[in-house]
Structure 1
Amino acid sequence: METAEQQSKPASRPVSDPASGSLFNSASSPLAPKQPAETPPRTGLSVIKRDGALVPFDRDKITVAITKAFLAVEGEGAQGSSRVHDLVGRLGGEIESTFARRLSGRGTVHIEDIQDQAELALMRGGHQQVARAYVLYREAHARKRAAVTPTEPHPSLQVTTVNGERQPLDLGRLRGLLDEACQGLAAVDGPGLLDEALRNLYDGIAEEELALALIMTARSRIEKEPSYSQVTARLLLDKLRSEVLRVLDIPTQASGREMARHYPLALERAIAFGIAHERLDPRLADFDLARLGSALQPERDFQFSFLGLQTLYDRYFLHQDERRFELPQVFFMRVAMGLALLEDDRDGRAIEFYQLLSSFDYMASTPTLFNSGTRHAQLSSCYLTTVPDDLEGIYSAIRDNALLSKWAGGLGNDWTPVRAMGANIKGTNGKSQGIVPFLKVVNDTAVAVNQGGKRKGAVCAYLETWHLDIEEFLELRKNTGDDRRRAHDMNTAHWVPDLFMERVFADGHWTLFSPSDTPDLHDLYGPAFRKRYEHYEALAAQGELRLFKTLKAKDLWRRMLSMLFETGHPWITFKDSCNLRSPQQHCGVVHSSNLCTEITLNTSAGEIAVCNLGSVNLVQHLKDGAVDRERLADTVTRAVRMLDNVIDINFYAVPQARNANARHRPVGLGLMGFQDALQDLGLPYASEAAVAFADEVMELISYHAIRASAELARERGAYDSYRGSLWDQGILPIDSLRLLQDARPEDHLDIDRTSSLDWAPVREAVRQYGMRNSNVMAIAPTATIANIVGVSASIEPTFQNLYAKSNLSGEFTIINPYLVDALKARGLWDEVMVNDLKYYNGSVQPIARVPDDLKALFATAFEIEPRWLVEAGARRQKWLDQAQSLNLYIAEPDGRKLDVMYRMAWLRGLKTTYYLRSQGATLAEKSTLHDGALNAVASGDEARFCSIDDPDCEACQ
């Protein structure tokens, strides 16, 4: 009897029937189909074999297997029987229809599920004896498979189980586990790993310590061969499986291959467990969990790097009493279910969203991954607030910070309205102490309310450059001075008007005011700001304003750059670029950006701006040396729908956030893996080709994101405040450059405005249907979700090609796999090269035997001229309706270089900049690994700015 497992095998293979002991050959059976063995599948379904291979679903293989069951029971009487022939055909059709219905005609199904359905079909049809023969056959082959890796007790070592029992160490299982962990990976040595791990074990070792020993052994080899990162992840996966299956009361110690059979049950039980323990939304039980379980793709567990899976294990998988009850594919499906809760076709959309997430084509932001499908579905990433100028309003804003931070939101606070030091307080007739004492409270609140205990609270305070407290604001992050007027744990940023930059270029003067005397400046930008600001300067010159200060614009600019060099703060962002190009300028003002400088949304006393983020994994959208445009269009379209769903599902900690999000519906679709894509395509970051690629990719994302939002408006309606927006006026982001140009002097905007796509269909869709979302794009840092999918963060250049990375999940050796592959291809990858990379802190530039073309391709962030970062950023910015988290790297900063770099950023029309980074504080230890020890973290140059994996950088994603 042939089972579904043999669907990829020739039909002529002899099979032993346990009922009669005879051999049957499908080709010799008169009831067997006459088609060739490799019959084309009737549907888009695929079958997962026990070895993890994926083959097309073929109904004829099922009918052959059922036919043999009849032959085994009825003997020759079944041969040539039209009754049996018709019955078998009908049963095969029913089985196929069952899976096609569950998976909407496409997806994967495991062999065991097909066999289960065959048994059920025979039982329901009243063919108990035939079903029994089928069951006996399956059991016989299960015993045969189990005999392949027999138990092999270690002669001297015993393991202590979680129940405290001691039993011999099973060498057979360890070999099988390592074989599976190394499957499909080149240049890895499973037997060598086993031998090395055994040398480090002791008699009576705990089960958990045994798993950890294997993991530690594999991870110590990552710097010599990047594939060991996947080996380590697969060993961690075995530890996770043991933990989760125990919690879910699934009595098995399954391998990765065997998990395909247990995954559907794991999904059902994880949902039930989470609901029972009040972790998950009870509405998840209303989904068709059998259909969703059949859609899970267990083989995708094997695509993780060690850093990615460890990050999920430590911080994302749901747990109860520190016991995790989610496996990776259950996790992705839970997130997808949470995002599909309000869809008409919940099950179909959940499967669609799951496919997008689990394939790593797209990843939702950290708050969405944390909380989707839970009882507190706070899925949004960023919150922007404006702080009013009264005591009640100030402390209400700080309270809002605490509530928003509790559920993993990153915060951006606009402090410009608050009166400056020395300003009069009408109620008490006293003098204000300015904003700094309040910022100290904000700082301590962020420390106290640390995002639900999952990561540090994170907030950024913004202040306009004309505020009289700007000079003290500059020094908030200094390590000297009165600590009561310092805020060491929060971020700060300038909100710079164009007029200030013009005064810097013209070497003019600049006047600082208290907003209590000049309240309307806060809401003005462009020519209107210029006119009113000059009016207040005239009043000050005439003696009609008491509280002001005049200084040279260049002197303040130098102090801004000097403090940025010394402390990394305040960041420099540009008020007029953000407002003049904002689609929503008809109904408010952008007063600040967010924690990571990519969000540019209106705020006011009654509205807290909210943004929901997610990122396209660019590496997944390359094909044959170019962007796979069709796949990218599909990903962007589905991602925009997922992001839009967040708005209606989201838990809002404060009503101002709900009001703003419901009215404007902004989302922020970004990208990650930009550097990986360049290296995959052979394009150095510091090249015109890379700048052109940045332009091409961002235009494609912009094109399809805007179109997707317009199509959603057709289905669901335009957002409430659409009328009067730039969208409504037919002005797309690329068109809004003209508005910025019109507001600046002629020589103060230098940006490429070319395009390559036919935008007419997008313009027509927006004109006809409107937009579902006021804003659709923003490029976030993606520090953590890029770790999860194993690509470079956001638009970042390579930090180092080999280094030790520390974050909240521990310490990890990071090596650039593209570099290793390139060196292997030229016969240059050896232990000497590893040691050279460690000695030169991950740089290939000083290594003489590395060819010049590879030195250019694998130049690190500090070896790339900053102008290339700005140029690529400018090309992206022209397509964005919001902004981008653009870090700037400079190896040896000095005043002149910083001056040129930030002036260039303004001239190229950038809306914001993010961290200024110097050489990293964490370097790979310069030692060999002959003893098998892991790299230690060694201190390098003092970090003047932020480290490459500052937890604050993860606040958005």
Structure 2
Amino acid sequence: MSFTENALYIMKKLYFRKDKAGNLVEKTPEELFARVADFVAEAETDPAKKKEFRKQIYHHMLDKKFMFSSPTLFNAGGDFPLASSCFVGKLEDDMSSIMKAATDTAITFKAGAGMGLNFGMLRPKGASVGQGGTSSGPVSFMHLFNEVGETVKSGGVRRAAFMAMMDINHPDVEAFITSKDFIAQIRGENPGADIPDHFVDLTMGEVSASLSTYLNNNDYVSNLTGNIRKTLFEPLSNMNISVAVSDRFMKCVADDTDFELDRHKDKGVTRTVVARELFHKIALSAWRTADPGVWFIDRANQYDTVPSFGRIDSTNPCGEQSLHHYTSCNLGSINLVPFMKDGSFDYDSYAETIAIATRALDNVIDMAAFPTEDFTRNTRMIRPIGLGYTGLGEVLFMLGIPYNSEEGCEFAANLARIMTQTSIRTSIELGHEKGSFEIYETNREALIKVAVSFFDDDDEKAEIEDLIRRNGIRNSNWTTLAPTGSISLILDSYTYSLEPQFALAYHKNLVDGGVLTYVDPAFEQALGQDKELIEKVAQNGGSCADVPGIPDKIKRVFTVAHDINYLDRIKMQSAIQRYVSNSISSTINLPTEVTVEEIEEIYRQAWEMNLKGITIYRDGCKSFQPMTTTKKKKEDAPKPDLVCRAPYKRPNLLKGEIVKTKTGSGTLYTSIGLDENFTPIEIFINISKHGSETSSFAEALGRVISIGLQNGVPSDRIADSIIGIVGDKPTWDNGKLIKSIPDAVGRVLRLYSEQAKSEAHGETTLFDKGATEAVSNEIDYKNPVEIPGATACPSCGEMALVRTEDCMSCLSCGYSKCG
């Protein structure tokens, strides 16, 4: 089975084993999959079964039918084979427990995994503590755990993921809701104060300008300014936060009644609020910052198969796993695309893969290492697994079924039904063969009640109950839909998990300077590979909805995330959740203009349609206005101007060159027009989609600079005046820190200013070196186009980082914060 260049790049970057010096030990997918298959099959005690199963799991990975989650691919066969992505720890209302949880969290981060904790366990601010003291409240302790995440990278490679949860009836819930929104906190503490939304940007602009007055080191000032901003104005930046919303609260919202914040009534602290006002605050904060998410805690506990372990009070960082204290879950995903054969879905082969994957994930529990003894003991005691699927959106395209249709929901639900039912049946067989999980007997009745709920027919329900009672069952949980960012790209599933396609076509910038147009394969086939129409779709942000010339029947099927109404997204998630034993990680992407009231309606619909959780992401909610500070330099001896001239009369034809620069806002193309002395005289700046704010800013900057150049302002003075301006998305380009679009343009101008000086002394020119591409003023080249809702990727710098599956993933390079 061949793998795409992108898949091979991701495997090389993330998963191929390296020695201590960083040299690749594995160089092919076959070597990677052989290592993982050896690790997983080792749990089989029978030699013949071990050999057979190793071959099965190896070929399922090689054939792109199934893939383990990233921790298993990273660590299988290593010195510390951590294989779980999902961990939930425990907090109790005393200092010893808090410090133990912080230590456990640090160890979990160091091992390469994320953590979830419910801070609602801690007494509210102002409650009595010790002898005459008062508590600082749970939000204050959240900052401690945030610093743990800041200090300890996950597996030594990336910032760790953390979920902070709080019950809706906690007296400090309002402070929790706005704990990641600095402006909302200031407004709350200073009622009536006129604090503008761009207050942080204005303040940081002044800070940066002041620092630049005293420090003559652009990079140092940029880094220091970024750290100040993050420390002071971006609280809890290493955390996701969610509110554990109860059915009682949602009923109070529906009835427009008061709601008592009585989580710590025994501590003498309780308050009564208007339910709808509190509900509005949740939606408002999510509108502003995308936090908090909403988790329906009663629904999660309704499907608890091991209630003897106590109440489930948190999820993992991405929300797909509702877990008991000190438990974890290893994950894996089935790629739906390979099961499409001759225009139909191969359900028999799909069921076979589910059975193999269930056994494989169960084996991982025996072979894996865990961060602490508590996690080792509890996880092996209840043996949960998390099997899911990916590529749903692409398979719907291949079948000609619209994502936002009843038929689409029915197909997706049927896949989930087969997956969970087959996994439960396989787990029963494993229970008979290898034994049930340790506390099965204590929780048998609760487990049977949950397990049979995923079967619709009364005869099937009775059959499953009988099979469990006679054979036991190996695992306490079976299915979930988790983030699949990196592994979906390896598998060529083209879409993530249950998510719709984000863009049907878009331009991807290559490291060699070229531009590749990515096209969804099913869409390309439907258009008959019509390059002109495909380019129009790419220029339309990846959607074909408003593109002339595309038949309506194609438009109806090939919808992308921003074409789909939020109610249709909720219907799809609800249809799937009906047959998924744990939860689903999914994000509803919303346009900038969505209202707070519409977000409230999303939460109501999610609760009424029996979702276990819901996360929204409004375009632009985490973006900031660019800072516009000018670097002030110490005055050196006066420098002679390179050229001072009368207003320049532009000829019809200019020599020119294009310089490509990677910026935090996307790839920048700076076209420099040169006069007869190779002096910059005109500049055109192209970036992003035509008509966007970024594009208009770049165009205006180019026009203003050109006016200056053509009226005698030396190019080196213009360069010095804009180099060092700091934006909100600095990035690296060929070893140099690019702070903003003006900073990038200033560097280009400085390059040509210095080159003109060299030319005046008879030195070699850029033309002679062939370093850039000469163009005339008549050239017409296409601009890279923004994908709606995309931001700059921290890995490759392209404007291709999208929020999907409750996780940030890059459509360009494959970077993912999750799996």
What SS does the aligned partner of 1:389 have?
coil
Aligned residue number for residue 507 of structure 1: 256
**Structure 1 residues 614 and 873, CA, compared in 2 at 3 Å: closer, same or farther?**
same
Deviation, 1:594, is 1.1
Indicate how the Cα distance of structure 1 residues 919 and 361 shifts in structure 2: closer, same or farther if over 3 A, else same.
farther
Could you say if the C-alpha distance between residues 328 and 757 of structure 1 is closer, same or farther in structure 2, counting changes exceeding 3 Å?
farther
Q: Is the alpha carbon distance of 1:941 and 1:908 closer, same or farther for their aligned partners in structure 2, counting shifts above 3 Å?
A: closer
Alignment of 1:538-553 (within 5 A): 545=268, 547-553=269-275
Report what 1:367 is aligned to.
71
CA shift, 1:850, in A, is 0.8
Q: CA RMSD in A?
A: 3.2
Instruction: State the TM-score, normalized to the length of structure 1.
Output: 0.59
Deviation at 1:893, TM superposition (A): 1.5
- What are the equivalent positions in structure 2 for 1:831-846 lying under 5 Å apart? 832-846=532-546
1:725 equivalent in alignment to 2:474? no
Which of 44, 47, 56 is the equivalent residue of 1:343?
Answer: 44
> Would you say 1:577 and 2:295 are equivalent positions?
no
Distance 1:755 1:895, change over 3 A: farther
Q: Aligned partners of 1:734 and 1:820: how far apart in 2?
A: 42
Match of 1:849 in 2: 549
Distance 1:564 1:318 in 2: 40
**Structure 1 unmatched ranges of 5 or more:** 1-299, 520-544, 737-752
**Residue-by-residue CA offset, 1:614-652 (whole Å, 9 max, x unaligned):** 011111222343331211111111111111111111111
Cα separation, 2, equivalents of 1:797 and 1:383: 27
Is contact 1:775-1:881 (8 Å) kept? yes
Residue in structure 2 matched with residue 410 of structure 1 by the alignment: 114
What is the Cα deviation at residue 805 of structure 1? Answer: 7.3
- The aligned counterpart of 1:312 is 11
Contact 2:689 2:784 in 1 (8 A): no
Tell me what 1:774 maps to.
476
User: Where does residue 334 of structure 1 map in the other structure?
Assistant: 35
User: Which deviates further from its counterpart, 563-572 or 380-389?
Assistant: 380-389
Secondary structure at 1:676 match in 2: helix
Contact (CA 8 Å) 2:519, 2:534: kept in 1 or not? no
Report what 1:563 is aligned to: 285
2:373 alignment partner AA: P
CA distance in structure 2 between the partners assigned to 1:849 and 1:951 by the alignment: 31
Distance 1:774 1:799, change over 3 A: same
Q: Which moved more, 1:917-926 or 1:457-466?
A: 917-926
Structure 2 residue matching 1:766: 3-state secondary structure: helix
Tell me the residue number matched to 2:716.
none
In structure 2, the CA distance between the partners of 1:938 and 1:861, relative to structure 1 (3 Å rule), is closer
CA-to-partner distance for each residue in 1:241-292, whole Å, 9 max, x for gaps? xxxxxxxxxxxxxxxxxxxxxxxxxxxxxxxxxxxxxxxxxxxxxxxxxxxx
* Aligned-pair identity (%): 27
**1:710 aligned to 428, 452, 472, which one?**
428
Q: Does 1:664 align with 2:379?
A: no
Q: In structure 1, give the amino acid aligned to 2:474.
A: R
One-letter code aligned to 1:765:
L
Measured at CA, do residues 456 and 856 of structure 1 come closer, stay the same or move farther in structure 2, by a change above 3 Å? farther
Name the CA distance, whole Å, in 2 between partners of 1:807 and 1:347: 42
Output the CA distance in 1 between the equivalents of 2:524 and 2:620. 23
- Answer yes or no: is the 8 Å Cα contact 1:918–1:943 preserved in 2: no
Query: Cα–Cα, structure 1 residues 713 and 733, in superposed 2: closer, same or farther, change >3 Å?
Result: closer
Secondary structure in structure 2 of the residue aligned to 1:913: strand
Number of the residue aligned with 2:582: 882
CA drift of 1:955 comes to 5.4
Q: Does 1:459 align with 2:165?
A: no
Answer yes or no: is the 8 Å Cα contact 1:464–1:496 preserved in 2.
yes
Counterpart of 1:429 in structure 2 is 132
In structure 2, relative to structure 1, the CA distance for the partners of 1:729 and 1:470 (3 Å cut) is: closer
Q: Distance in 1 between matches of 2:508 and 2:182?
A: 25
Change (3 A) 1:911 1:733: farther
SS in 1 for 2:476: coil
Q: Distance in 2 between matches of 1:616 and 1:936?
A: 33
Picking from 594, 607, 612, the partner of 1:911 is 612
Measured in 2, the distance between the counterparts of 1:940 and 1:919 equals 10
Shift in alpha-carbon separation, 1:943–1:472, aligned structure 2, 3 A: farther
Q: Does the 8 Å contact 1:727/1:771 carry over to 2?
A: no
Are 1:950 and 2:672 matched, yes or no?
no
Alignment correspondent of 1:395: 99
Greater CA drift, 478-487 or 406-415: 478-487
Residue pair 1:364, 1:613 contacting (<8 A) in 2 also: yes
The structural deviation recorded for 1:938 is: 5.2
SS at structure 1 position matched to 2:323 = coil
- Give, in angstroms, the shift of residue 656 of structure 1: 0.9
2:563 pairs with 1:863: yes
Looking at structure 2, the residues matched to 472 and 807 of structure 1 have their Cα atoms a distance apart, in angstroms, of 45
Distance verdict in 2 for CA 1:823–1:505, change over 3 Å: same
Once the 2 structures are TM-superposed, how far is the Cα of residue 946 of structure 1 from its aligned partner? 6.8
In structure 1, which of residues 633, 648, 654 is the aligned counterpart of residue 372 of structure 2?
A: 654
Aligned to 2:311: 589
Aligned to 1:820, the other structure's residue is in SS state helix
Determine if contact 1:410/1:955 at 8 Å carries over to the other structure: no
TM-score by length of 2: 0.69
1:446 corresponds to: 149
CA contact (8 A) 1:778 1:884 kept: yes
Distance (whole Å) between structure 2 residues aligned to residue 594 and residue 906 of structure 1: 20
The corresponding residue for 2:402 is 684
Q: Which amino acid aligns with 2:475?
A: N
Alpha-carbon shift at residue 396 of structure 1 (Å): 1.3
**Deviation at residue 437 of structure 1 after TM alignment:** 2.1
Q: Give CA deviations for 1:154-197 in whole Å, capped at 9, x if unaligned.
A: xxxxxxxxxxxxxxxxxxxxxxxxxxxxxxxxxxxxxxxxxxxx
Closer/same/farther in 2, CA of residues 565 and 754 from structure 1, 3 Å limit: farther
What is the distance in 1 between the residues matched to 2:580 and 2:616? 20
- How far off its partner does 1:476 sit? 2.0
Query: Is structure 2 residue 323 aligned with structure 1 residue 601?
Result: yes
Does the CA contact (< 8 Å) of 2:508 and 2:517 recur in 1?
A: yes
User: Aligned residue for 2:178?
Assistant: 475
Distance in 1 separating the partners of 2:252 and 2:99: 36
Q: Report if the CA contact (8 A) 1:353-1:638 is conserved.
A: yes
Aligned to 2:597: 896
For residues 341 and 766 of structure 1, the distance between their equivalents in structure 2, rounded to whole angstroms, comes to: 27
Supply the distance in 2 between the matched residues of 1:717 and 1:941 (Cα, whole angstroms): 49
Deviations 1:817-859 (A, max 9, x none): 211111116xxx12x3243223211111111111111112111
1:332–1:485: structure 2 CA closer, same or farther, 3 Å change rule? Answer: closer
Per the alignment, in what secondary structure is the counterpart of residue 652 of structure 1?
A: coil
Contact 2:116 2:164 in 1 (8 A): yes
How far 1:767 moved relative to its partner? Answer: 2.6
CA 1:956–1:939 in 2, change beyond 3 Å: closer, same or farther? closer
Task: Give the AA of the match of 1:392.
Answer: S
Q: In the alignment, is the contact (CA less than 8 A) between 1:564 and 1:571 conserved in 2? A: yes
- Corresponding pairs, count: 603
Query: CA separation of 1:906/1:943 partners in 2, compared to 1, >3 Å: closer, same or farther?
Result: farther
Distance 1:839 1:853, change over 3 A: same
Task: State the one-letter code of the partner of 1:587.
Answer: F
Q: How far 1:911 sits from its partner (Å)?
A: 0.9
Amino acid at match of 1:782: T
Three-state SS of the structure 2 residue aligned to 1:610 is strand
Instruction: Measure, in 2, the Cα distance between the counterparts of 1:846 and 1:411.
Output: 43
Q: Work out the CA distance in 1 between the residues paired with 2:300 and 2:508.
A: 34
Task: Show CA shifts across 1:96-123 (max 9, x none).
Answer: xxxxxxxxxxxxxxxxxxxxxxxxxxxx
Q: Is the partner of 2:597 in helix, strand or coil?
A: helix
Q: Is the 8 A contact 1:613 1:956 kept in 2?
A: no
- CA separation of 1:682/1:451 partners in 2, compared to 1, >3 Å: closer, same or farther? same
Q: In the alignment, what sits opposite 2:352?
A: 634
Question: What per-residue deviation string (whole Å, max 9, x for no partner) do you get for residues 204-252 of structure 1?
Answer: xxxxxxxxxxxxxxxxxxxxxxxxxxxxxxxxxxxxxxxxxxxxxxxxx
Call closer, same or farther: CA 1:895–1:755 in 2, change over 3 Å.
farther
SS in 2 for 1:803: strand
For residues 652 and 807 of structure 1, the distance between their equivalents in structure 2, rounded to whole angstroms, comes to: 39
SS at match of 2:52: helix
